[in-house]
Amino acid sequence: MTRLFISGLLFAGLIFCGGCRKTTPDNPETILTSPADEEEAALQVVGNLYGFYAAYHKKGPAGWDDLKGASSKATASAQKEASDAIQQVQAAGFKMTWGVDKPLLKKEGVKADDYVIAESADGRRKLMFSGNVKTKKSEN
């Protein structure tokens, strides 16, 4: 029962903190305050799931099945949001780095906001371990 409660709290944090992002508009890479499109919103959800999984299990997820399982005890609407986000990120072909957790970051001396856990095929968008999404501005 305690695990169910903790999982529910973690997933509620995922849903409510999705828009809590800082922004650096003058940089060539921006960190989202609110998602500009559905792909960025999906990346935020996947990033939060990844971080919550790593914190709860004391190890990074090994693949998509771990992320899907992390949302299995949440409410139906939260499960649907997580499932839709995972499907969208998979369909977009993002290259994921699995097994990342805080001890690994500490061992490598990297900050959570500097460690890429997902990157688009064209390198335009990056999902950081912190849950932030960085998007390179196009040079026109």
| Domain ranges within the chain, ordered by starting residue | 2-16+29-136
| Percent of the chain scoring above 70 in pLDDT | 74
Per-residue pLDDT at 5: 58
Q: Can you give the pLDDT at residue 72?
A: 84
Task: Give Cα separations from 73 to 17, 93, 120 (angstroms).
Answer: 18, 27, 29
Tokens (6 digits) for 31:
């960190």
Whether pLDDT at 22 is above 90: no
Q: How many residues does the chain have?
A: 140
Which strand (E) or helix (H) includes residue 128? Answer: strand 125-128
